[in-house]
Chains A and B, each alone.
Chain A
Amino acid sequence: MIRSLAGSGRRLVAMALMMALAGCAGRQSALSPAGEDASWLHDLWIVMLVGAVILWTALNGLFFFVTRVRPNDWPERHANRLIIGGGVIFPTVLVGTLLAYGLSMMPHMRADGDGLVVKVRAEEWWWRVEYWPAGATAPIVTANEIRLPTGQRTELLLDANKYIHSFWVPALGGKMDMFPGRETRMTLRPETPGVYRGQCAEFCGPSHALMAFEAVILTPGDFAAWLEAEAAPAAPPATPEAQRGQTLFRDEGCGACHAVRGTEFDGLVGPDLTHLASRQSLGAGIMEVTREDLTDWIAHTRDIKPEVAMPAYDWLEAAELADLAAYLEGLK
Chain B
Amino acid sequence: MILLENIHKSFGALVVLKGISGRIPRGEVLAIVGPSGSGKSTLLRSINLLETPTSGKVFVDNVCINDKGVDIRKLRTKVGMVFQQFNLFPHMTTLENVIYAPLRVKKIKRKDAETLGKKLLEKVGLKDKAKTYPAHLSGGQKQRAAIARALAMEPEVILFDEPTSSLDPEMVKEVLDVIKSLAHTGITMVIVSHEMGFAREIADRIWFLDEGRLIEDSMSKTFFKAPKTKRAQSFLEKVL
A binds B: no
Q: Tell me the A residues contacting B by CB distance below 8 Å.
A: none
Q: Tell me the B residues contacting A by CB distance below 8 Å.
A: none
